[in-house]
């Protein structure tokens, strides 16, 4: 069921009231939603059970300190005692779909609440704009009415956001949440465009059924096209930079092997990663052998092995959330790299991460009648 | 580059290709000595990290040998290996590394001659390609 939700007071308050209704009416027993930290400089996913806390809810705050699907896993994977309404950006939503395939998120207990993503800033930038007394939400909503998604003057969105071609829940082979709140291409100061999976909820929320307005369809189309173009530009730039062994090494030359990119990657969920064991603590003499063979050996060793192995293990499910790039202290465009590689792997299998929880992950399954060109002479 | 001798790391399934390599040996079938064999219980046991390690250490080629489709000792290990090899090829290609240095071949236990032929063929192909670009890279 699709329709309009009347805006009272402000857009954000209207969304917060909707969340409050879900919680107080018992549709959900808890809400996972970003709350402004007490100092206001961040908005962090919080499991809320007391509706009074929703006063601090900041579902539109353009900041992404953690991929929400990771924390959704914490509160569902081993059995949630109740139903949680999860307010997620579309990259987080697509991540939740991927993690559900490997039982790291249990979607049975989740009411998914998506929203048009109007872009996000890095954590540092967001804190700075709050310190400067800037309001990031109102201008973003104003621009979105006309179909625009632009950062504040003097600020830039996270690189991953600029190349995200799936910012709209349910659009472009992304999984439709139970509730999708549309802000783009609609008069979002008067009414919000809401898509629901289940009719009953529409009555509870006071939705006024309607046809999707043409202006919104056009705005979504234009945004997706612009993002796709930027994505392809970044893919091409990667290939321009990296085309042989030397240029690949150059791409990772400044890597300090802190493994932050892996720690924050929601898809890298393994509890016992081989790179966190002593497998790569080789006997001392081994390094000397390598140095003898190649003339020398970079230490710590296996930097490229770390990255290439991660690609081999998870690029098929990379959702392009960009947490890795955010976390890299050396400014390596990790997400650009993983998205480029991931796209090729995904294309080979016709796989779209975040499309459908009923699909199996690329490495979890096989077909007897595929890839016949491999293995034969 | 006439004196270039390719180094091949071969990951072979115990139930088929490894036995075939053994058969090639005991039958005194000649094949080039360029291959270092690592025995696995199943091609499906091959974590791609081992292939990545071999490639980045400077192996000129990697050969993965498994049972013909339908013949896996463990039902479906070779089908899983095949998916992983497809992933390996895609990743290597995107990184600017010739994916055709990594070969997957189905070679049954009785195909000693085919194993020898495969190694001969691969050595010739790798001689064409020249040494791996990672052979002399110390900063991997
Ligand atoms: S590799 Fe980076 S962009 Fe891809 S899922 Fe992991 S953190 Fe997100
Ligand atoms: S976060 Fe950056 S520096 Fe740290 S391991 Fe990843 S790429 Fe290397």
Nearest CB neighbour to B136, from listed A294, A362, A363: A294
Residue B29 is predicted with a pLDDT of 95
Q: Is residue A104 part of a domain?
A: yes
Q: Give the span between the Cα atoms of A370 and B125, in whole angstroms.
A: 26
Give me the CATH number covering residue B69.
Answer: 3.40.50.960
Of all ligands present, the nearest one to the C-alpha of A338 is: 1
Contact B60, B97 (CB under 8 A): no
Q: For residue A53, which of A74, A70, A32 has the smallest C-alpha distance?
A: A32
Residues 104-133 of B with CB under 8 A from A: 104-106, 118, 121, 133
Contact B82, B104 (CB under 8 A): yes
Q: For residue A166, which of A223, A105, A218 has the smallest C-alpha distance?
A: A223
Ligand 2 binding pocket includes A303 (Cβ within 6 Å): no
Q: Which residues of chain A make contact with B87, given a CB cutoff of 8 A?
A: 312, 315-316, 345, 348, 362-363
Listed in order, strand segments (DSSP E) in chain B are 8-13, 35-40, 61-66, 102-106
Q: Is residue A376 part of a domain?
A: no
Q: Is the pLDDT of residue B1 over 70?
A: no
Q: Is residue B14 part of a domain?
A: yes
Q: Are residues A57 and A107 in the same domain?
A: yes
Q: Give the span between the Cα atoms of A196 and A227, in whole angstroms.
A: 26
The helix/strand/coil state of A348 is helix
Q: What is the pLDDT of residues A202-250, one digit of tens each?
A: 888 889 999 999 999 999 999 999 999 999 999 999 999 999 999 999 9
Q: Are residues A184 and A272 in the same domain?
A: no
The helix/strand/coil state of A125 is helix
Output the pTM of the full model.
0.96
DSSP A84: E
Nearby residues of B52 by Cβ (< 8 Å), 6 or more positions away: A305, A308, A309, A312, B88
Residue A42 is predicted with a pLDDT of 98
> Pick from A233, A261, A291: which residue ends a domain?
A233
Q: Are residues A253 and A227 in the same domain?
A: no
Q: Is residue A13 part of a domain?
A: yes
Nearest 5°: phi and psi at A134? -85, 145
The helix/strand/coil state of A36 is strand
Q: Give the span between the Cα atoms of B111 and A170, in whole angstroms.
A: 52
Q: Is residue A202 part of a domain?
A: yes
| pLDDT values of chain A reduced to their tens digit, one per residue, 377 residues | 999 999 999 999 999 999 999 999 999 999 999 999 999 999 999 999 999 999 999 999 999 999 999 999 999 999 999 999 999 999 999 999 999 999 999 999 999 999 999 999 999 999 999 999 999 999 999 999 999 999 999 999 999 999 999 999 999 999 999 999 999 999 999 999 999 998 888 888 889 999 999 999 999 999 999 999 999 999 999 999 999 999 999 999 999 999 999 999 999 999 899 999 998 889 999 999 999 988 999 999 899 999 999 999 999 999 999 999 999 999 999 999 999 999 999 999 999 999 999 999 999 999 999 999 999 98
Q: Give the span between the Cα atoms of A94 and A129, in whole angstroms.
A: 28
Q: Are residues A201 and A252 in the same domain?
A: no
Q: Give the span between the Cα atoms of A121 and B38, in whole angstroms.
A: 49
Q: Are residues A33 and A75 in the same domain?
A: yes
Q: Which two tokens mark B58?
A: 């400077």
A131 burial type by CB count under 10 A (0-12 exposed, 13-18 middle, 19+ buried): exposed
Contact A377, B105 (CB under 8 A): yes
Q: Are residues A195 and A247 in the same domain?
A: no
Q: Is residue A324 part of a domain?
A: yes
> What is the domain extent for residue B125?
8-129
How many distinct structural domains can be found in chain A? Answer: 2
Q: Are residues A87 and A148 in the same domain?
A: yes
Q: Which residues of chain A make contact with B58, given a CB cutoff of 8 A?
A: 293-294
Residues 38-67 of B with CB under 8 A from A: 48-49, 51-53, 55-58, 66
> What is the domain extent for residue A301?
243-365
> Pick from A233, A263, A285: which residue ends a domain?
A233
Q: Give the span between the Cα atoms of B55 and B3, in whole angstroms.
A: 21
DSSP A176: P
Residue with tokens 């064999």: B37
Using 50, 70 and 90 to split pLDDT, how confident is the model at B2?
low
Q: Which two tokens mark A354?
A: 């975040």
How many distinct structural domains can be found in chain B? Answer: 1
Q: Which two tokens mark B45?
A: 């046991």
Ligand 2 binding pocket includes A257 (Cβ within 6 Å): yes
> Pick from A213, A233, A253: which residue ends a domain?
A233
Ligand 1 atom, smallest distance to A338 CA: 1
Q: For residue A344, which of A326, A365, A321, A318 has the smallest C-alpha distance?
A: A318
Q: Are residues A205 and A258 in the same domain?
A: no
Q: Which residues of chain B make contact with A310, given a CB cutoff of 8 A?
A: none
Q: Is residue B99 part of a domain?
A: yes
Q: What is the pLDDT of residues B36-92, one digit of tens each?
A: 999 999 999 999 999 999 999 999 999 999 999 999 999 999 999 999 999 999 999
Q: Does B70 touch chain A (CB under 8 A)?
A: yes
Q: Is residue A98 part of a domain?
A: yes
Sign (positive or negative) of CA dihedral A125, A130, A132, A134: positive
Q: Are residues A100 and A8 in the same domain?
A: yes
Q: Give the span between the Cα atoms of B124 and B34, in whole angstroms.
A: 11
Using 50, 70 and 90 to split pLDDT, how confident is the model at B120?
very high
Q: Are residues A203 and A286 in the same domain?
A: no
Strands B61-66 and B8-13 come out as: parallel
Contact A173, A94 (CB under 8 A): no
Residue A303 is predicted with a pLDDT of 94
DSSP B22: H
Distances from the Cα of B50 to the Cα of A55, A101, B9, B11, B38, angstroms: 52, 26, 10, 9, 10
C-beta atoms of A376 and B106 within 8 A: yes
Q: Is residue B73 part of a domain?
A: yes
Q: Give the span between the Cα atoms of A173 and A133, in whole angstroms.
A: 38
């Amino acid at each position: 069921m699709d329709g309009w939700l009347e805006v009272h007071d402000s857009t954000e308050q209207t969304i917060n009231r909707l969340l409050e209704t879900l919680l107080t009416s018992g549709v959900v027993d808890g809400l996972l939603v970003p709350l402004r930290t007490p100092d206001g400089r961040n908005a962090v996913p919080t499991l809320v059970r007391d509706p009074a806390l929703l006063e601090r809810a900041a579902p539109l705050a353009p900041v992404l300190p953690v991929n929400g699907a990771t924390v959704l896993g914490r509160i569902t994977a081993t059995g949630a005692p109740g139903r949680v309404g999860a307010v997620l950006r579309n990259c987080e939503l697509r991540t939740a779909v991927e993690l559900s395939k490997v039982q790291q998120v249990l979607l049975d207990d989740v009411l998914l609440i998506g929203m048009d993503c109007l872009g996000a800033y890095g954590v540092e930038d967001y804190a700075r704009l709050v310190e400067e007394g800037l309001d990031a939400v109102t201008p973003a909503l104003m621009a979105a009415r006309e179909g625009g998604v632009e950062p504040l003057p003097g600020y830039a969105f996270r690189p991953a956001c600029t190349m995200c071609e799936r910012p709209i829940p349910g659009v472009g082979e992304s999984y439709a949440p139970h509730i999708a709140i549309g802000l783009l291409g609609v008069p979002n100061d008067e009414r919000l465009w809401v898509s629901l999976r289940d009719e009953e909820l529409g009555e509870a929320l006071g939705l006024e059924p309607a046809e999707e307005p043409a202006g919104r369809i056009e705005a979504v189309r234009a945004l997706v096209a612009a993002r796709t173009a930027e994505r392809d530009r970044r893919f091409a730039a990667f290939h321009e930079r990296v085309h042989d062994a030397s240029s690949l090494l150059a791409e990772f030359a400044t890597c300090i092997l802190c493994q932050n990119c892996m720690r924050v990657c929601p898809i890298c969920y393994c509890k016992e990663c081989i790179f966190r064991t002593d497998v790569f603590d080789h006997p001392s003499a081994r390094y000397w052998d390598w140095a003898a063979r190649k003339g020398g050996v970079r230490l710590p060793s296996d930097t490229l092995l770390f990255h290439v192995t991660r690609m081999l293990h998870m690029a098929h499910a990379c959702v392009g959330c960009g947490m890795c790039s955010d976390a890299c202290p050396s400014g390596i465009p990790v997400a650009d790299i993983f998205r480029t590689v991931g796209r090729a792997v995904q294309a080979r299998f016709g796989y779209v991460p975040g499309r459908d929880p009923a699909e199996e992950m690329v490495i979890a399954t096989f077909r007897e009648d595929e890839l016949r060109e491999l293995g034969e002479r | 580059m006439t004196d270039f001798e390719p180094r091949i790391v071969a990951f072979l399934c115990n139930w088929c290709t490894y036995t075939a390599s053994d058969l090639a040996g005991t039958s005194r079938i000649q094949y080039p000595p360029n291959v270092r064999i690592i025995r696995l219980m199943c091609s499906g046991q091959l974590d791609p990290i081992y292939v990545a390690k071999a490639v980045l250490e400077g192996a000129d080629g990697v050969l993965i040998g498994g049972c013909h489709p339908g013949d896996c000792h463990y039902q479906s290990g070779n089908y899983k290996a095949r998916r992983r090899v497809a992933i390996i090829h895609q990743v290597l290609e995107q990184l600017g590394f010739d994916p055709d240095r990594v070969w997957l071949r189905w070679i049954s236990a009785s195909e000693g001659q085919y194993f020898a032929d495969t190694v001969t063929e691969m050595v010739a192909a790798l001689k064409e390609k020249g040494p791996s670009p990672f052979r002399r890279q110390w900063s991997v």
